[in-house]
Amino acid sequence: MIRADLATIPTYVPGRRLVDATKLSSNEVSFSPLPAAVDAVTEATQGANRYPDMGAVELREALAEHLEVEFDQVTVGCGSSALCQQLVQATCAQGDEVIFPWRSFEAYPIFAQVAGATPVAIPLTADQNHDLDAMAAVITDKTRLIFICNPNNPSGTTITQAQFDNFMEKVPNDVVVGLDEAYFEFNRADDTPVATEEIHRHDNVIGLRTFSKAYGLAGLRVGYAFGNAEIIAAMNKVAIPFAVNSAAQAAALASLNSADELMERVEETVEKRDAVVAALGAAPTQANFVWLPGEGAAELAAKLAEHGIVIRAFPEGARISVTNAEETEALLQAWEAINAG
């Protein structure tokens, strides 16, 4: 009854949850939504007998202003995950190719395969960054979409402006580049491409951001995409109707209006990650997580779990979210304990 190729598609693995443990496995923030966002959700639920605004007009207007783009250059989705999927569906037919770095956001290959496209995963360089030369070298006339994840999940690395410019010179104009900036607000690299600028330089670049991470609304599911209005319209065409519910729209709008207050909280994470990088001997990161490449991640995860810390183990390494002072202290104490023992 089920299409045969589904058996070959990997299943999305969420960050592990353990009761009473400190959850550092999904790159969430540890703070609750702002009171204004909670109030907005409460108010929105009063009207939950009605469908949400399908066009998410108020939120998209606010985002357009925030991003300095036209209204029809921005759309919202049920998390930026949904927008990544919509981008695949809007660009790829059966047998087309989607290029992305690997390891990176684990949904990229899933979305490609679900759409019947062929995932082309290009391993990270030895220093855990995008191998843009190798990614450009595998572009064929079947390539329809390329994901760039900047900063990359799980390595926390960023590409430079020159690397991106050089890469874009090799990308044909009719191949879409999804510049995934899920961790944009944590990025302090001074030499790196920024989607709000790149969309004006390239008609084939779409920026992808989310309210799940820095804005602390992961449980409400809302993200946004921006760029060429034609591509945005195509993404809207393949969207599930009413995908962004009214509580999510209201919370996102309230949070966007309080962006300054939220960014102060992000600063705490940015400060803490230096301490975590130093204590764990990790490479610098521009996201709200650190990356320890190499084998043995599962063992490390098991040891930390014994000390009440949950992290994410991949075959290629361990990823540990960085949150606030209290949780960082708990992590560093657990780290010390397992290294002493």
Q: Which residues bind ligand PLP (CB under 6 A)?
A: 27, 79-81, 105, 149, 153, 180, 182, 210, 212, 218, 223
The residue type of 86 is Q
Query: Are 186 and 288 a contacting pair, CB within 8 Å?
Result: yes
Residue 274 CB, shortest distance to ligand PLP, in Å, is: 21
Q: Which is nearer to ligand PLP, 150 or 335 (CB)?
A: 150
Count the neighbouring beta carbons within 10 Å of the beta carbon of residue 38: 13
Residue 214 CB, shortest distance to ligand PLP, in Å, is: 11
Q: Which is nearer to ligand PLP, 149 or 310 (CB)?
A: 149
Mark out the alpha helices in 92-186 (DSSP H runs): 107-114, 132-137, 161-170
Residue 147 CB, shortest distance to ligand PLP, in Å, is: 9
* Cα gap 281→229, rounded to integer Å: 44
Query: Are 283 and 248 a contacting pair, CB within 8 Å?
Result: no
Residue 341 CB, shortest distance to ligand PLP, in Å, is: 32
Residue 105 CB, shortest distance to ligand PLP, in Å, is: 4
Q: Which is nearer to ligand PLP, 81 or 269 (CB)?
A: 81
Q: Which is nearer to ligand PLP, 210 or 328 (CB)?
A: 210
Spatial CA neighbour of 203 closest among 224, 222, 227, 187: 227
Q: Which is nearer to ligand PLP, 202 or 319 (CB)?
A: 319
Taking CA atoms, 32 is separated from 170, 262, 278, 323, in Å, by: 43, 11, 27, 12
Q: Which is nearer to ligand PLP, 30 or 303 (CB)?
A: 30
* Cα gap 294→279, rounded to integer Å: 17
Residue 310 CB, shortest distance to ligand PLP, in Å, is: 15
**Beta strands of 125-256 (E only): which ranges?**
143-149, 176-180, 205-210, 223-227
Q: Identify the bridge partners of residue 318 per DSSP, sorted by sequence position.
A: 292, 313
Report the residue closest to ligand PLP, judged by CB. 79
